[in-house]
Structure 1
Amino acid sequence: MGGSLKNLAKRLNQPIEFNNSRLTAVGLLLLLLTVVFLGAIYPLLNLGREYREKAEDLRFRLNRLQQVADTREALTQRLERIQAMARKNDAFLPTNTAALASADLQTRIKQIVSEAGGELSSTQVIPERAEENAVRIGIKLRMTGSTAVLRQVLHRFEAGKPSLFIENLNIRPIRMPRNPRDKNPVIEDRLSVDFDVIGYMQAP
């Protein structure tokens, strides 16, 4: 009887030992898989994600650069059109150096005074001066003529192109000697006039 009980106990213990061994093996296998995953596969997954993120960032930058490159040509053409329009702006003296601008302004002054019937006594170049995006060109002149002549000269300067401005206007009547025997002298309308003519040249 005692022997039978011992054999029965052994038989009962055998499945229990088998189950424990299987569980241990499964646990070790899971542990091994976890170690392999953490040690090899997980870093590879992280590395792949980093590469994907870098690739997305590079694609974004490439798209931005492509957009800039696409708009550069349009902006360049627009800038060239603006510069061409500025060069054609008839408000400025049509020259690119101060010396040429002064010479051009003197020629215009002589022509305007002569066509109005005045007499140009002298001209003097005023030193040029930079003002914002332009260069100020000036000529100081002295002329003689009647009131009507002066009015026409001033109108021609301020109403024509390029835009010219009058500064420091000084008008003096010219007194002619009177004949004591002339009981009804005629007062002659003759003026001596000094003023500055100012024009602008585009800054180079």
Structure 2
Amino acid sequence: MPLAVTDRDRWLALALLLAALLLGYFVLVHPWWTVPMQEVGARVDELRERELRIRTQLQQAPQVQRELTAALAQQAQRPGFLPEATVELATAGLVQRLETIVKQASPGNRSCAIANQSPLAVGGREVYPRVVVQVRLRCGAPELASVLHQIESGSPRLFVENVNLLAQRYAFQASESGTGGLDVNFDLYGYLKPSPAVNQEPAGAR
């Protein structure tokens, strides 16, 4: 006589069937089909975002080029770096510029003159090499103000630091009255453009 199948047995069999199906899915289907498809979908989304970024950059390229051209033109009008290629040439250029500025402030060196000028070696290896000249001037106060203003407002960009002022009593050529002047010491410096070797070194060190 066959055994009667109760409702409890049916539900138990159904539960076992569902458990077997779930186990088969996670063992056979999920790792071999679902996971690869999810990875492909993520890769497709990443490529779409990358394509969108590239397309946006290409659309902005003309504007960026115009801004770069304008910036280069502005920099060319007032270059920030010394035009010379070496420290030696730049030092000679600094001295020549200083002499020109002093002559403009005091024609014939009647009220301002260079007492001493000597290059100062800068230690270390800098990305932007600095060229320094130690300067000593004997000037009247108005002429000194004119010299410093022309140095720091001219082109290329020059800088003054370590200024030391000392009041003196001496006579310039234009006046033998013995009126006082200023004995001034300072460092005059500017920057050279970085050499290609310095620019390439960090890239090679990566």
Determine the structure 1 residue equivalent to 2:68. Answer: 81
Output the TM-score relative to the length of structure 1. 0.54
- Pick the aligned partner of 1:168 from 163, 170, 177: 163
Which position in structure 2 is the counterpart of 1:112? 101
Residue 48 of structure 1 corresponds to 33
**2:78 — aligned with what?**
90
How much does 1:153 deviate?
2.1
Gaps of 5+ in 2: 195-206
CA RMSD of aligned residues (A): 4.9
Whole-Å separation in 2 of the counterparts to 1:160 and 1:197: 16
Runs of 5+ in structure 1 lacking a partner? 1-16, 177-185
Percent identity between matched residues is 17
State the partner residue of 1:11.
none
Give the TM-score of the pair, scaled to structure 2: 0.53
Change in Cα spacing, 1:72 to 1:101, as seen in structure 2 (3 Å) is: farther
Asked if the contact 1:123–1:142 (Cα under 8 Å) also holds between the matched residues in 2, the reply is yes
Question: Within 2, Cα distance between the matches of 1:69 and 1:201?
Answer: 37
Show the 5 A alignment for 1:176-187: 187=177
Matched, 1:199 2:185: no
Larger radius of gyration: 1
CA distance in 1, matches of 2:88, 2:53: 41
Distance 1:65 1:98 in 2: 46
Using the alignment, how far apart are the partners of 2:144 and 2:78 within structure 1?
25
Cα contact 1:166–1:195 (8 A) shared by 2: no
Aligned positions, number: 170
